[in-house]
A = this chain, B = another copy of it.
Amino acid sequence: MGSVRNILFIMCDQLRADYLACTGHPSIKTPNIDALAARGVRFTNAFCQAPVCGSSRMSFYTGRYVQSHGATYNGVPLKIGEPTLGDHMRDLGVATGLVGKTHMAADIEGMKRLGIDRSSIQGVLAAECGFEPWERDDGLHPDAFTDPNLAYNVYLRDNGYDGDNPWHTYANSGVDETGNVVSGWYLRNAHLPARVDKAHSEAAYMTMCAMEKITELGETPWCMHLSYIKPHWPYIAPEPYHNMYTEKDVIAANRGEREKENPHPVIEAFMGHEESVNFSDETKRRHVIPAYMGLITEIDDNIGRLMTFLEEQGRLDDTMIVFTSDHGDYLGDHWLGEKEMFHEESVRIPLIVSNPDSACESTRGSELHVLIEAIDLIPTFIEALGGEAKPHMLEGKSFLPLLEGNNSSEWRDFVISEADYSWRGARLSLGLTPDDARAYMLRTERWKYISYDQFRPQLFDLQKDPDELIDLGASDLHKEIRAEMEERLNRWLRHRRNRTTTSHEEIEKKTDTAKNRGIYFGVW
């Protein structure tokens, strides 16, 4: 094993932290991801900065909280000028690119204002969140707005799948009992096999692209973001994954009748969303989850292919491998579907990090329970590659010392995650403007506090109620702890890193030096 030269940053979309064998799921099979965990460290308390794709990813990719980068939801363009993972890596001479999904929306207006040509190198990088778009694809392409020449569509046609949008009509569709081609977007079709061979599925295609690109990069140091679209909906998997699991393999829903009595207004509004209503129906839930699990095992098989390939190429010895997800999936827990709110099922993410450096021998196969945030990845990558910390800009902390077994007592007291549900029906049913649909989660080891604009907070005692079934947000007995949490949240809010253009060193160098610079103010 040698020191870190490359970084393989693998992300799944909507993969719950507890849906891997190595994280305790009783029936799912994920031997390759488990093997990665055995070679590295598994963080049991890692959290996304926002439980929704776009804003979570912009935090992963900028190393900054949503409050700071401002891309608060899917489709909100990341402001031109926000430095990204790619910028930090390229500064260290590391080619940095993407295979898969980012959910990045380019700030076209900002680019126009600054006269940035979209076809220039900098224009492409700015539009692609700082990644070289080795193969960009966000998936989820219904017919309505699909470019028929998306690379995966071309690939599918080259492999005999016909039509303008085989991504949809094959990879995301099945054939029902009456012989009709039906959309995998409908939950009722989750039991059908997708009309694509597993050799040509999204996950297989992305894995192939990654291997081709790694081969092509040769001895150039690289940071690859391999970003799978699955197990995100459409919940439809190719053979043999579509019926690899049955409803017997589905773990019980984590929900209680009590949650429906006098729920928090925002949670109640989310319970009214179609995905929540459907996943609250146990029959539907048991119909869909086996497909979700199949998609996970499919990714695991592809991770296996990839690891074999890396081993053959000698890249396991100089590549740090990170495996994570942008957020979880309620799957009916707490009477909710999808994500966006802050229960563990939605906000906690899997995080496995395998570092080839011999300094990390002592931690291989271990699990760490410290609180980790998605924004910790960039500082970790920078430190692993020997770069300089940038605390004026990056809001996370390098966890490299933890991988090396230096488990200092002072780590972090709490994690933050944020939501902006302006785009959801819940906002309308609650009668809010787009300025008042924000929420902040502050989670310590014991407490989870959620502060909403316009509504009372939520509070869970994770020690006494690890399943988060009892909301103490209005409990008289917990006034003090809520006040303490609110106070911490406020301190956090006022300490956001907004002075991103000046380093601490520059400030120290200039403090109280006006006179030395010939500026005599207030001198008699």
- Tell me the complex Cα distance, A435–B497, Å: 9
Contact yes or no, B507 A434, CB < 8 A: yes
Residues of A65-99 at the interface with B, using a CB-CB cut-off of 8 Å, are: 66-73, 75-83, 87
Decide if A258 is an interface residue (CB 8 Å cutoff).
Answer: no
Q: Find chain B residues with CB under 8 A from A187 CB.
A: 522-524
Report which of B145, B423, B490 forms a contact with A510, defined as CB distance below 8 A.
B423
Contact yes or no, A523 B185, CB < 8 A: yes
Decide if A498 is an interface residue (CB 8 Å cutoff).
Answer: yes
Decide if A219 is an interface residue (CB 8 Å cutoff).
Answer: no
| Known interface pairs A66-B498, A79-B500; 6 further A-B residue pairs with C-beta atoms within 8 A, sorted by A's residue number | A76-B501, A81-B113, A185-B523, A275-B523, A434-B508, A490-B490
Contact yes or no, B126 A122, CB < 8 A: no
Assuming the A-B contacts A81-B80, A81-B81, A435-B495, are A520 and B186 also in contact, with contact meaning beta carbons closer than 8 angstroms in the complex? Answer: yes
- The residue on B at minimum CB distance from A146 is B518
Contact yes or no, A518 B116, CB < 8 A: no
Contact yes or no, B494 A438, CB < 8 A: yes
Give the interface residue-count category, chain A.
35 or more
Contact yes or no, B183 A520, CB < 8 A: yes
Q: Find chain B residues with CB under 8 A from A496 CB.
A: 67
Q: Find chain B residues with CB under 8 A from A440 CB.
A: 494
- The residue on B at minimum CB distance from A233 is B521
Contact yes or no, A501 B278, CB < 8 A: no
Stretch touching chain B among A136-144, A147-155, A194-202, A308-316: A136-144
Decide if A132 is an interface residue (CB 8 Å cutoff).
Answer: no
- Tell me the complex Cα distance, A435–B500, Å: 12
Contact yes or no, A87 B67, CB < 8 A: no
Contact yes or no, A499 B70, CB < 8 A: yes
Q: Indicate with 1 or 0, residue by residue over A257-286, a CB within 8 angstroms of chain B CB atoms.
A: 000000000000000011110110000100
Decide if A456 is an interface residue (CB 8 Å cutoff).
Answer: no
Report which of B143, B275, B518, B521 forms a contact with A143, defined as CB distance below 8 A.
B518
Q: Find chain B residues with CB under 8 A from A486 CB.
A: 490
Contact yes or no, B428 A70, CB < 8 A: no
Decide if A427 is an interface residue (CB 8 Å cutoff).
Answer: yes
Closest 7 CB pairs of A and B: A275-B522, A81-B81, A115-B122, A142-B518, A144-B518, A70-B498, A77-B501
Q: Indicate with 1 or 0, residue by residue over A483-521, a CB within 8 angstroms of chain B CB atoms.
A: 000100010011110111110100110111000011111
Contact yes or no, B144 A76, CB < 8 A: no
- Tell me the complex Cα distance, A521–B518, Å: 64
Residues of A86-127 at the interface with B, using a CB-CB cut-off of 8 Å, are: 87, 105, 107, 109-110, 113-116, 120-123, 126
Q: Indicate with 1 or 0, residue by residue over A419-461, a CB within 8 angstroms of chain B CB atoms.
A: 0101111011000011100101000000000000100000000
- Tell me the complex Cα distance, A83–B83, Å: 17
How far does the Cβ of A163 sit from chain B's closest Cβ, in whole Å? 16
Q: Find chain B residues with CB under 8 A from A433 CB.
A: 504
Contact yes or no, B511 A428, CB < 8 A: yes
Decide if A338 is an interface residue (CB 8 Å cutoff).
Answer: yes
Q: Find chain B residues with CB under 8 A from A479 CB.
A: none
- Tell me the complex Cα distance, A68–B499, Å: 10
Q: Find chain B residues with CB under 8 A from A72 CB.
A: 498-499
Contact yes or no, B494 A140, CB < 8 A: no
Q: Find chain B residues with CB under 8 A from A427 CB.
A: 511
Contact yes or no, B115 A120, CB < 8 A: yes
- Tell me the complex Cα distance, A315–B338, Å: 60
Decide if A188 is an interface residue (CB 8 Å cutoff).
Answer: yes
Q: Find chain B residues with CB under 8 A from A275 CB.
A: 521-523
- The residue on B at minimum CB distance from A429 is B512
Assuming the A-B contacts A508-B434, A511-B423, are A338 and B81 also in contact, with contact meaning beta carbons closer than 8 angstroms in the complex? Answer: no
Decide if A337 is an interface residue (CB 8 Å cutoff).
Answer: yes
Contact yes or no, B185 A511, CB < 8 A: no
Contact yes or no, A107 B76, CB < 8 A: no
How far does the Cβ of A336 sit from chain B's closest Cβ, in whole Å? 10
- Tell me the complex Cα distance, A105–B499, Å: 13
Residues of A373-426 at the interface with B, using a CB-CB cut-off of 8 Å, are: 391, 420, 422-425
Q: Indicate with 1 or 0, residue by residue over A150-171, a CB within 8 angstroms of chain B CB atoms.
A: 0000000000000000000000
- The residue on B at minimum CB distance from A501 is B77
Assuming the A-B contacts A113-B122, A122-B114, A512-B428, are A70 and B520 also in contact, with contact meaning beta carbons closer than 8 angstroms in the complex? Answer: no
Q: Indicate with 1 or 0, residue by residue over A218-231, a CB within 8 angstroms of chain B CB atoms.
A: 00000000000000
Assuming the A-B contacts A187-B524, A510-B423, are A518 and B145 also in contact, with contact meaning beta carbons closer than 8 angstroms in the complex? Answer: yes
- Tell me the complex Cα distance, A67–B497, Å: 9
